[in-house]
Amino acid sequence: MAPLIANTIGLVVLLTSLGLMDASPGLAQGPAKAGAANYPNKPVRLIVPFPAGGGTDIVARIIAREMSDSMGTPIVVDNRGGAAGIIASEIAGKSTPDGYTLLFGNTATNATHAAIYRKLPYDPIKDFAAISLAAFSPYVMSVNPSVPAKSVKEFVALAKAKPGQLNFGSGGNGSVPHLAAALFNYLAGINVVHVPYKGGAAHLPALVAGEVQVNFSSAVQVMPLVKAGKLRALAVTGTSRLPAAPELPTVAEAGVPGYEFGIWWGFLAPAGTPRTTVNHLYGEVVKALRSQDVKEKFGRAGVNIVGNKPDEFAAVIRRDVALWKKIAAAAGIRLD
């Protein structure tokens, strides 16, 4: 675990420098307000399945703030870290389906976990009603400034010269950063050792402190640290460069052909939530995503706004679960 001072520095940089691409042309059009006339009439709990300060938490809070103002009731963010988001996702999936408990899920909790865990205490498809896939972000491959590699090719050469001597951090076994780095290891033919931390907010301070040498994390987390000079970014993991950092090549064009990775975030309710309530929430999510404040903050952080419809989001989850089951089987990734 990173020293307390490293955690403090990391969170301060993330949360204060986040004057946190405007992809609004692709934003789905929201429906007119629907749902029961008296919904909501009390605060809505938004369960974030990771600790405060991580990428999922930051994105959730930006949207929740806008939704609270629009809905006239607090959207209370409830961080429930631990077990790579499994504990919180189970709690959310088994909550009363009345629209007052939601899950801010991501690629891990509602896609990859179904592929890599032998026994998952919830079903990411059957236990949830999809509301909207809110945003997507490629990851950024970054290193501690003490690492001599200035490019992806140089890092691969360094790792090959020192097999098993370099480390990468993640928010836990089976977390999205773990899979991103494991895929990089596989395609680059190197052996960088995995060091799991407790949650997404912990492994970046560890990188800043030099406990690990490389990391794959969402742009919303990494870019403020890069701009502050605490990390060096080498590449982005998507299929195109970030408008917010056009100087960064993609991992594929920088020397590891075929590499592509990213993370999505979305709102989900427990299965059985009335469709009128789901539609109402979908409209509120889309309204929040259209706000100028969200557009500006996400644009500077390299986060793409999506805002698709409930049925479209459900289709994305089904597609990704099937895809990652194939990838996990091929790569031999399986956790108890």
Q: What is the pLDDT of residue 330?
A: 74
Alpha carbon of 6 to those of 3, 35, 220: distances in Å? Answer: 5, 46, 18
Q: pTM for the whole thing?
A: 0.75
Is 21-137+262-331 CATH 3.40.190.150?
yes
Question: What confidence score (pLDDT) does residue 111 get?
Answer: 95
42-67 confidence digits (pLDDT tens): 999 999 999 998 889 999 999 999 99
Mean predicted lDDT score pLDDT of the chain: 87
Q: Is the pLDDT of residue 34 over 70?
A: no
Of the listed ranges 52-56, 71-75, 294-298, the least confidently predicted one is 52-56
Quote the pLDDT of residue 64.
98
Most confidently predicted of 87-91, 168-172, 183-187: 87-91
What does each C-alpha distance from 331 to 62, 106, 180 come to in angstroms?
35, 21, 12
Burial class of residue 274 in the structure, from the number of CB atoms within 10 Å of its CB (0-12 exposed, 13-18 middle, 19+ buried):
middle
Quote the pLDDT of residue 36.
Answer: 55
* Confidence at residue 202, expressed as pLDDT on a 0 to 100 scale: 84
CA pair distance 335, 115, nearest whole angstrom = 9
pLDDT of residue 247: 94
Q: For the chain, what percent of residues have pLDDT higher than 90?
A: 66
Asked whether residue 33 carries a pLDDT value surpassing 70, the answer given is no
Q: What is the pLDDT of residue 45?
A: 98
The pLDDT, as a whole number, for residue 101 is 98
So what's the pLDDT on residue 9? 28
pLDDT confidence tier of residue 4, bands split at 50, 70 and 90: very low
The domain ranges of the chain are 21-137+262-331
pLDDT score for 283:
98
Model confidence over 191-241: pLDDT tens digits?
Answer: 999 999 887 678 899 999 999 999 999 888 898 999 999 999 999 998 888
Per-residue pLDDT tens for 117-132? 989 999 999 999 999 9
pLDDT tops 80 at residue 89: yes
Position 16 scores a pLDDT of 34
Give the rounded percent of residues in the chain with a pLDDT score beyond 70: 88
Q: What is the predicted pLDDT for the residue at 176?
A: 80
Q: Is the pLDDT of residue 28 over 70?
A: no
pLDDT number for residue 1? 35
Closest by CA to 286, choosing from 302, 311, 267, 261, is: 267
Closest by CA position to 188, among listed 247, 119, 252, 282: 252
User: Do residues 81 and 139 make contact, with C-beta atoms less than 8 angstroms apart?
Assistant: no
